[in-house]
Amino acid sequence: MSCYTSALELFSIGVGPSSSHTVGPMRAARDFALQLEAAGLLPGTAAVRVHLYGSLGATGIGHGTPAAILAGLAGASPETVDPSLPALLAAHIAAEGTLEVLGRHPVALSPSDIVLEPRTVLPRHSNAMRMTAVTAGGKVLAEETFYSIGGGFVETESSLAATAGMDVTPAAPAKVLPYPYQYSSELLAICAAEKLSISDVAWANECALRQADEVREGLDAIWRTMQECVDAGLKTGGILPGVLHARRRAAAIADRLEQDAAVRETSLEWLQAFAIAVNEENAAGGRVVTAPTNGAAGIIPAVMHYFFRFIPQEEQRKADNMRRYLLVAAAIGSLYKGNASISGAEAGCQGEVGSACSMAAGALCEVLGGTPEQVENAAEIAMEHNLGLTCDPVAGLVQLPCIERNAIAAGKAVASARMALYGDGQHLVSLDTVIETMRQTGRDMSSKYKETSEGGLAVNVIEC
Ligand code: SF4
């Protein structure tokens, strides 16, 4: 059994503000439209209805879920969608009551056809949506239930039913991996037996799934998108969308850092500015890399920007360092996805920001010269100090506490990597133990703190 999830799937290029509430629903809606077409049902479809359950119903409006579904039904995919399209389609259906499915077949669809049901939680996952195609006479032509399980990954009723009885998220690559592992203890054993680094193990697994060139190009595209996102965030001021009218801060912080020679090369401030830049782009619905979710998308790129800006290294080693960093992050992220959860709706923010912090800590540790044991230690420290972190976004927007939380977690990731490097990799609490603890804590956490905006800051901060 292996929990390994390819880096090219764990890090997907998409749009903000949420991987589970925006990217996943867009993918699900596109899949539904393609299913209708493949089954020859599109010509007979006169209307489409959508029900959003649980967390999707509770915070879907703030996360842009209905608009993302419209874009998906229209045929857009998160990787290539024009970030302005979802809002344009939302305005269009409000005015016209119609949508062109896959850009070619008009159906009746108005805002009231996307029904929010926050009090109904389907048994398989708290992020559920049901899509129904009906004829002009009201007959149901096709219906599918989708689950957005975090990180933009989507399952259907049938795919989850196939794994019924398991209480962990399955990851079953179709191809045989040279180094399958389910737990970090197994990953460390592989490294020791084969004398490999964690990035070597991940690279070998990736190359069993795709051609080496494709893997390199995919990792390069991910890093390129992360850089573009940071650059855009550091240049853009103004107000974020939504009722909070929150000011964007990354550009102002960067300006101050650039102008003041005394702090220009202060790494902590820049690290935070990088993370805030990404999360402001995400909150504005811009192009981001899901890492491993959109809410937590700032941590992994921020720590990598920190590494390139503040750690002296040979120019010709940079591309290799970048790829190794992403591979280690994916190797660790796979452990979270396969043994616990990376979904805020399932495990609280410890599953999102905690996982990203742990992935970045381990990845930084390896590119700073850490052994596999030190990498495992860094990842463990980072999660240990995110345990219990709740998800309580104010007004259902991925802004408060999310944006600052990424900046703080980026600092924790760097501190965890450095702390691990001062040790020899031997430590009391294993990464496996802390992942299992996170899973149990998430299971026991009240649903108020799992992306429903019914508790915590979400009910104590007055929306203006
Ligand atoms: S509080 Fe954390 S888990 Fe919740 S939406 Fe924000 S970043 Fe995601």
SS3 of the chain: the string is CCCCCCHHHHCEEEECCCHHHHHHHHHHHHHHHHHHHHCCCCCCCCEEEEEEEHHHHHHHHHHCHHHHHHHHHCCCCCCCCCCCHHHHHHHHHHHHCEEEECCCEEEECCHHHEEEECCCCCCCCCEEEEEEEECCCCCEEEEEEEEEEECCEEEEHHHHHCCCCCCCCCCCCCCCCCCCCCCHHHHHHHHHHHCCCHHHHHHHHHHHHCCHHHHHHHHHHHHHHHHHHHHHHHHCCCECCCCCCCECCHHHHHHHHHHCCCCCCCHHHHHHHHHHHHHHHHHCCCEEEECCCCCCCCHHHHHHHHHHHHCCCCHHHHHHHHHHHHHHHHHHHHHHHHHCCCCHHHHCHHHHHHHHHHHHHHHHHHHCCCCHHHHHHHHHHHHHCCCCCCECCHHHCCCCCHHHHHHHHHHHHHHHHHHHHCCCCCCCCCHHHHHHHHHHHHHHCCHHHECCCCCCHHHHCCCC
Atom number, ligand 1, closest to the C-alpha of residue 59: 5
Q: How far, in Å, is the centroid of ligand 1 from the Cα of 464?
A: 20
Domain map of the chain by residue range?
A: 16-161, 184-460
Q: How far, in Å, is the centroid of ligand 1 from the Cα of 203?
A: 30
Q: What pLDDT is recorded for position 167?
A: 43
Q: What pLDDT is recorded for position 126?
A: 86
Q: What is the pLDDT of residues 106-138, one digit of tens each?
A: 999 999 999 999 999 998 888 999 999 999 999
Q: What pLDDT is recorded for position 157?
A: 84
Nearest protein Cα to ligand 1, atom 8: 295
Using CB distances shorter than 6 Å, the residues near ligand 1 are 295-296, 344, 349, 352-353, 391, 393, 398, 401-402, 405, 451
**Mutation choice for ligand 1 from 59, 349, 399, CB with most ligand atoms inside 8 A:** 349
| Domain 16-161 listed as CATH 3.90.1150.10 | no
Q: How far, in Å, is the centroid of ligand 1 from the Cα of 352?
A: 7
Q: How far, in Å, is the centroid of ligand 1 from the Cα of 459?
A: 15
Q: What pLDDT is recorded for position 170?
A: 47
Q: What pLDDT is recorded for position 261?
A: 78
Q: How far, in Å, is the centroid of ligand 1 from the Cα of 280?
A: 13
Atom number, ligand 1, closest to the C-alpha of residue 393: 1
Q: How far, in Å, is the centroid of ligand 1 from the Cα of 394?
A: 10
Sequential pLDDT tens for the chain (464 residues): 899 999 999 999 999 999 999 999 999 999 999 999 999 999 999 999 999 999 999 988 888 999 999 999 999 999 999 999 999 999 999 999 999 999 999 999 999 999 999 999 998 888 999 999 999 999 999 999 999 998 999 999 878 776 654 444 444 446 899 999 999 999 999 999 999 999 999 999 999 999 999 999 999 999 999 999 999 999 999 999 999 999 999 999 999 999 987 777 779 999 999 999 999 999 999 999 999 999 999 999 999 999 999 999 999 999 999 999 999 999 999 999 999 999 999 999 999 999 999 999 999 999 999 999 999 999 999 999 999 999 999 999 999 999 999 999 999 999 999 999 999 999 999 999 999 999 999 999 999 999 888 999 999 997 65
Nearest protein Cα to ligand 1, atom 6: 402
Nearest protein Cα to ligand 1, atom 2: 349
Q: How far, in Å, is the centroid of ligand 1 from the Cα of 23?
A: 15
